[in-house]
Amino acid sequence: MSEREQIHNYLVALNRYLSRLQKHEADDVLREIESHIYDAIDEQEKRGGKADPASVLEGFGRPRELADSYINHIQLGAPPPQGFAAIKSVKRGVSKALYYGMAIFGYAFAITLIFTAMANLVYPESVGIWSYSGGNSIVIGFFENALPESDELMGFWYTPFALVAGYCLVRLTKGIMDVLKPNLQVNQ
Amino acid sequence: MEKNDTSHAKWDAQLRKGTLELVIMAALQKGAKFGLELLGFLRDYETMIISEGTLYPLLDRLKREGLIDANWQQEDNTRPRKYYELTSEGKNRLTELTSRWRQSVRDIETLLNAK
């Protein structure tokens, strides 16, 4: 087997085992390891020795073990981003239904908020936040007729409020999806 | 003699396991290094020789924890290389770990010298 074939086969095997990572992460790992292998071979030749890719590859260990070293600390060791610590304990068992359910819920609610923010500019009488039962109950919505016997709380200010809330919800949902995604792939 | 070598190797491995994070960050404190350069740097220290398979996943973990940063760079006609450097969070962590390490060394020295 030629030098290039040995390296190619190693990288192909490693790529297969890294499939649990997101593609751009796996590509980055492969690119770095390939660069290291060829640099190390160049060094061997510069020192007057014969290129020995097998000895360089030996330093990395078997592709599966190397891939596991990358993946294990993502699943077990690395902390989630700041503010997401609470989902650390549940993320290992995340299912497709939970993942897509959270995405649909988060993005749908955000879109609704942004839509009502815009609608408030066109139909200010029909959109807003109403207070019921002396403040014990709150209704947010878009109604054909203004709600009777209740006070709309925010008026024009509902628009910036809902836009900011919608934006924050998009960011929050995206953050949760990013944390859950690698574990979703493991369970597939 | 062989038994002694094995025993030393086990001791070194145990020591490295607990201190590798500190060692890697210490090796980066003077400036950015790429993986092969870092391995070569550590080879100058008898008890700190590690393999590629240990180094790269550890660098990846430190990067995910925000302690180091990584950037691809290409100089002249060389291959592109991924350089690692300490972040400000990494520098703070290195200061903390250095302090704990020195405390441990003082404690062990005191125990060894106790009569």
Co-location of A70 and A113 in the same domain: no
Co-location of A22 and A69 in the same domain: yes
Q: Tell me, what's the pLDDT at A176? A: 83
Cβ distance B86 to B109 under 8 Å?
no
Rounded mean pLDDT, A17-35: 91
Co-location of A73 and A122 in the same domain: no
A138-177 pLDDT tens trace: 777 777 766 656 677 777 888 888 899 999 999 999 888 8
Reported as a pLDDT band with limits 50, 70 and 90, residue A40 is very high
The DSSP-derived string for B38-94 is: HHHHHTTSGGG---HHHHHHHHHHHHHTTSEEEEEE--TTSPPEEEEEE-HHHHHHH
**CB-CB neighbors (< 8 A) of A54 in chain B:** none
The verdict on residue A85 lying in a domain is no
The verdict on residue A102 lying in a domain is yes
Co-location of A103 and A59 in the same domain: no
Give the contacts of A39 (CB within 8 A, at least 6 positions apart): B36, B79, B81
* Chain A touched by B60 (CB under 8 Å): yes
How many domains does chain A divide into?
A: 2
Q: Tell me, what's the pLDDT at A49? A: 78
CATH class of B2-113: mainly alpha
Co-location of A182 and A94 in the same domain: yes
B interface mutation test: which of A7, A36, A42, A66 has the most B CBs within 10 A? A36
Interface list for chain A against chain B, based on CB atoms closer than 8 Å: 28-29, 31-33, 35-36, 38-40, 43, 56, 59-61, 65-66, 69-70, 73-74, 77-79
**C-beta atoms of B52 and A29 within 8 A:** no
The distance of Cα A46 from the centroid of its chain, to the nearest Å, equals 43
**C-beta atoms of B82 and A35 within 8 A:** yes
* Chain A touched by B82 (CB under 8 Å): yes
The distance of Cα A124 from the centroid of its chain, to the nearest Å, equals 37
Q: Among the listed ranges B24-33, B68-77, B83-92, which one has the minimum average pLDDT value? A: B68-77
Rounded mean pLDDT, A29-53: 90
* Chain A touched by B77 (CB under 8 Å): no
Give the 3-state secondary structure of residue B33.
strand
A92-127 pLDDT tens trace: 556 777 788 888 999 999 998 888 888 888 887 777
Q: Which domain holds residue A153?
A: 90-186
Percent share of chain B, pLDDT over 70: 97
Q: What is the value of ipTM here, to two decimals?
A: 0.86
